[in-house]
Structure 1
Amino acid sequence: MSILIDKNTKVITQGITGKTGQFHTRMCRDYAHGRAAFVAGVNPKKAGEDFEGIPIHASVAEARAATGATVSVIYVPPPGAAAAIWEAVEADLDLVICITEGIPVRDMMEVRARMRAKEAGGGKRTLLLGPNCPGLITPDAIKIGIMPGHIHRKGRIGVVSRSGTLTYEAVGQVTELGLGQSSAVGIGGDPINGLKHIDVLKLFNDDPDTDGVITIGEIGGPDEAEAALWAKQHMTKPIVGFIAGVTAPAGKRMGHAGALIAGGADTAEAKLDVMHACGFTVTRNPSEMGQLIHQKLR
């Protein structure tokens, strides 16, 4: 079992005719069950054509109707990425994974408001992962995004992270220790995004094939603290937590758009303190993440 995606998931690629979309679609198709998973692309100007055998449709709704796909991945450039997200939401997909970095905050605020209004009006809820994220992988089944597939192994540790490269670091450690991953989820580093740590922790907690979780956050925003407070009351599995940015100065953005200390609660130390108080095993050294979860499961 896994969370969000499995070997039977059908995927639409929005932005399949761009270099980035084409490169990563190839990589994803070459991983595990990818050839059966990636069933359609979308580009209204190239509808009726194909990319290496993948049919290109004029819209997400048309691609879904033709293939039965329930997930889309977005590589559309920043000016059009928010509109691409909304198109997928309007098509009632289950999950939209937006890889694109640099989407204007105002565009994402508008999309978030429209998604909430749709759901409040009784419309289908579509989950959003990202933007500015590496995507999602269920090892030996399917990968959707830009993460290197070869470092992953099927196992029983869930990984959720705001940072792409730190996701890979945690995955590499867990693989080397022989534990493997149930799923690894990159939620992205933008200030306005979809799924958050708390959402993914709930999914891992309910997954019978996940025995423990590594959660990786960074400075800025309340996400990690809110997840820790929920976990204290509800989580039944061990969690190892790491926060990037212990030495980050206040008021300076560090990499991601959302990695900005605006107040005392946004600092790495404050978040680590909350996580520790809520029962997480915390570390200030990212090289210890794998060993710590291994110790918790012995």
Structure 2
Amino acid sequence: MGLSWQQGPLAPGAVGRFLLPEPLPERMLFAEPLRRRMRVRFGDAWIADSEDVVLLHEPGRYPVAYFPVGDISAGVLEPGEHTTRHRDLGPTSWYTVRAGEQSKQRAAWQYTELPDHAAELKGRIAFAWRAMEAFYEEDERIVGHAADNYHRIDIRRTGRHLVVRHGDRVVADSGRPLVLYESGFAPRWYVPRADIDETALTPVEARTFCPYKGLCDYYDIGEAHRAAWTYGNAYREVDRIGGLVSFEPDEVEVHLDGVRLRLEPGQKVVSHGVDRNLDLDETTPVRQP
């Protein structure tokens, strides 16, 4: 979750509210300077390199990076005939992106008649994330979508008692879980393997990817589908949960200090946009030589 996605303050399903006497507009867009150098790679070439990127937060969408036209390599953008209209920002022109022998239609766009209140986006181009080979901040690849400055994860050690049951079976019993707090989401509890009856866990083939935690593997527990998950190779920033297992409280019984946990409304992660459809070999950020 971030500023405008999932349950963020600008998202349609915001978990909180602004304390104002009058209701806010149904949709609010927020643009801000990224303050990070961002580069785009396509056709085995760097086609954009900028320290002046603007990040657009739009309700219900991941953040999108907009580059000044002057920071995009000459000859990369070919105007096309395809146009659309953004509900808030107006007419949109689409470009073919070309570098070397490679080209991709409708791989970049620009708003051509922006309202005055959206002047931050004038003269800027956005690239379709999955159409490009890769995006980088400095020399490190950013996977999934532009990093959201408002997405935060904290992990805390606790001595609380966590018990997981499926029917009459105790699947996990731990007095040392880790709790993961992620922006806008209810806490998630991760249990060490030594405190789990792993014979209850049946690995499934389905996998998902989190741009902030890494590649996620799932387990069935009896007939409870995807009732547990683990990040076997969690990213360095969250490596404390690497290999630990968390359990879905709407699939199995999860009790914390004797109180049964319930899945809170709006907590299901909803996939959105083409940038979720990653190939597995794309999900490990690598350092550009």
- Report the TM-score range of the alignment, normalised by the length of the smaller protein: under 0.3
Higher helix share: 1
Question: Which has the greater radius of gyration?
Answer: 2
TM-score when scaled to structure 1? Answer: 0.24
TM-score when scaled to structure 2? Answer: 0.25
Higher strand share: 2
